[in-house]
Amino acid sequence: MENMNNNSKCCHFGRVSEEVECDRYDENNCSTSCSYDSDISIVIPKIKDTKFTAVSNACVELSHTLERPKESTTVFENWKEYDDKGNLIHFKTSDGFEYWNEYDEGNLIHFKTNDGYESWSEYNNRKLIHFRDSNGKENWKEYDDKGNLIHFKDATGCEYWQEFDDEGNMIHRIFINSYESWYEYDKGNLIHFKDSNGNEEINEYDDKGNVIYSKKLNNKVDKNEDTELK
């Protein structure tokens, strides 16, 4: 995910994700932003009921997306309101969907829909440090001076710590249940991955950064242990 500072990188086995827990997604299901309805070009927030379970020594996220009600007529209308700084503060549609946003210094701190869902967010230096919602989800995040996520925990007990190199690449992650993984890079490309369960991956690249050779050793456990699940 973020070059680690690049959220567009997905999180499959041997590929690094800075955040295991994702709140918003891009076209590859990685955490970046709100989703958009391509037909009518409006923001459709994705709302999640989330919990973590321990599976094969890793935290696995189980999530559910609450979708906007389907249109009931052939004519679709929507209305939007903005504050003086251009932030969207109210949105409603002709089929009954409606939500409100509140901001503090450009950061979204409160989100509410007309079906009863709410979420609250706190920030430090524009980085999300605390999130909770009306479904019971809650998490906390800590960052280093360069903005890299170094500590994550949530209300269900999932917790992990991360280390980064000078280029912002994640080089080590350890979960509260002692599961660990290590990463090595060359010019930003992941060349070596291994974990405490004996899984290992080696990659070679050409001058353009394309993988030309890959070798994986999967030892006993599901290779998705270090994978980001949505």
pLDDT by residue for the chain (230 residues), tens digit each?
A: 334 333 333 333 333 555 554 344 344 444 333 333 333 333 334 434 433 333 333 444 433 444 555 655 578 999 999 999 999 999 999 999 999 999 999 999 999 999 999 999 999 999 999 999 999 999 999 999 999 999 999 999 999 999 999 999 999 999 999 999 999 999 999 999 999 999 999 999 999 999 999 999 998 644 344 433 32
Give the integer Cα–Cα distance in Å for 38 and 58. 35
Neighbours of 139 (CB within 10 A): 21
Token pair belonging to 25: 């997604």
Report the pLDDT value the prediction gives residue 70, as an integer from 0 to 100: 61
How deeply is 212 buried, as exposed, middle or buried, from its count of CB atoms within 10 A (0-12, 13-18, 19+)? exposed
Cα angle 141-142-143, degrees, rounded to a multiple of 5: 125
Token pair belonging to 145: 């001076």
Query: Which residues in 56-169 belong to E strands, given as ranges?
Result: 58-66, 78-82, 88-93, 98-104, 107-113, 118-124, 127-133, 138-143, 149-154, 159-164
pTM, entire model:
0.64
For the chain, the structural domain boundaries read: 35-68+90-222
Evaluate whether 152 touches 159 at the Cβ level (below 8 Å): yes
Please, how many CA atoms are within 13 Å of residue 177, restricted to the half-sphere of its CB?
A: 14
Report the pLDDT value the prediction gives residue 104, as an integer from 0 to 100: 96
